A and B are shown apart, each in its own frame.
Chain A
Amino acid sequence: MSGDQGAHQDGDPSARQSVQQGAHQGSAPAADHPTAGRTGDYHDSAVRPYVLTRGRARPTRNTIGLDTLLVVADAGKPLPPSASRQARDLLRMCGRLLSLAEAAAHLELPLSVAGILASDLVDSGHLIARSRIPEAGRPDVTTLQEVLNGLRRLS
């Protein structure tokens, strides 16, 4: 699997480094990179992710959020040839357990775009989403107590 990870290295290498800095100047997000839209029907790279987002303003499932944990469902299951580069990158990134926000940050994708891609990949059985907190609710007493105990162990 590591052999093809160079595929998402075609962005500006300096962009990744600048994420670690307080000032985030001058580095175009991956979505704006000239090669970002080279797959699929859209070739206007600056627009493509937002065309994707605008086409489906919401993911097919509303249970995917920043803190949804994602992991590959079946490492051997291939994506269809029509899958976008971003979808392939996301699937590869989630080879082990990671939140959507982390995957999006590492891939330098806007979170909304990553969320729609993740939702599609969950629908197609490529990714599993682990999330116990109901979207509309608050964490229950048991969860809060566990968080509290965990924080007390840190302090």
Chain B
Amino acid sequence: MGSAGSADPPSPPPALSAEEPAEEPAGAPAKLPAYLPDTVQQAVKILVVGDFGVGKTTMIGSVSEIEPLRTEETMTQASVGVDDLAGLDGKRTTTVAMDFGRVTLSPYTALYLFGTPGQRRFWDLWAGLGEGAVGALVLVDTRRIEGSFEVLDQLELRGDLPFAIAVNHFPDSYRHSPQALREALDLEPDTPIVHCDARSRSSSVDALIALVEHALSLQKGPS
């Protein structure tokens, strides 16, 4: 992924849980993970989906209270298919990684952000990834808007996962009007579109808020 921003999230706020030690001496036991407060009773998750290099890991790093982690699954050659996975050709099995982060929202609730490639078969690698999720925040790079089409197709095909569009602004990206974007992406009138800077915590949080507000309005039913 082009956005290696996970290495340096901008000034994370103090975490509710204990910080991990900064370094571990060679040969020492593995450092302890940053555990959740014992009061936490439930975890909720939001998927941050989008094309490769669109800034998913950057956004997760901006919001997460822990250093973003990576979980892996292997996919067989058969499922690699025709995807544009530069550098992954010729392997018999391919390890597909998913970066994720965490933020403790209250003494009772922790939010997990999973950065998921848009292609459906990647989702299926992680069993139950979309199940029970609050929704999906679709990160879009307007310089490569066609990279979002498959993601949106999958979400519309599923039909059960609330989603919102967050246009990640790169320095050289042109700022389209929401209406132009809505038409270009062929979105439903009620699908939220927000502009964001994935490097900024407050901007990323605002995008997540737009998604949760949308999920809440859908859950409450048509007004």
Contact = CB atoms under 8 A, between A and B. Distances in A.
Interface of A: 2, 5-6, 8-9, 13, 16, 19-24, 29, 50, 58, 62, 65-69, 71, 93, 96-99, 101-106, 108, 110-112, 115, 130-141, 143-155
Most buried by B among A13, A93, A146: A146
Nearest to A59: B127
B69 A22 contact: no
A66 B71 contact: yes
A143 B69 contact: no
A150 B111 contact: yes
Interface stretch (B25-33, B150-158, B163-171, B181-189): B25-33
Interface in B88-127: 95, 97, 100, 102-103, 105-106, 108-112, 114, 126-127
B100 A101 contact: yes
A48 to B, nearest CB: 13
A98 to B, nearest CB: 6
Contacts of B71: 66, 101, 104-105, 110-111
Given A97-B36, A143-B44, A150-B105, A22 B111 contact: no
24 contacts: A22-B2, A22-B3, A22-B5, A22-B7, A29-B72, A62-B128, A65-B128, A69-B40, A69-B42, A69-B43, A96-B35, A101-B69, A101-B100, A101-B114, A105-B71, A130-B40, A132-B42, A136-B131, A138-B219, A144-B219, A146-B108, A147-B134, A149-B106, A155-B206
Contacts of B108: 146
A115 B126 CA distance: 10
B216 A145 contact: yes
Given A65-B128, A112-B73, A139-B134, A13 B41 contact: no
Nearest to B18: A96
B44 A139 contact: yes
Given A101-B71, A141-B219, 19 more contacts: A6-B29, A8-B30, A9-B27, A16-B30, A20-B67, A62-B128, A65-B131, A66-B71, A67-B45, A67-B132, A102-B102, A111-B73, A112-B127, A132-B42, A139-B219, A140-B219, A144-B134, A146-B106, A151-B212
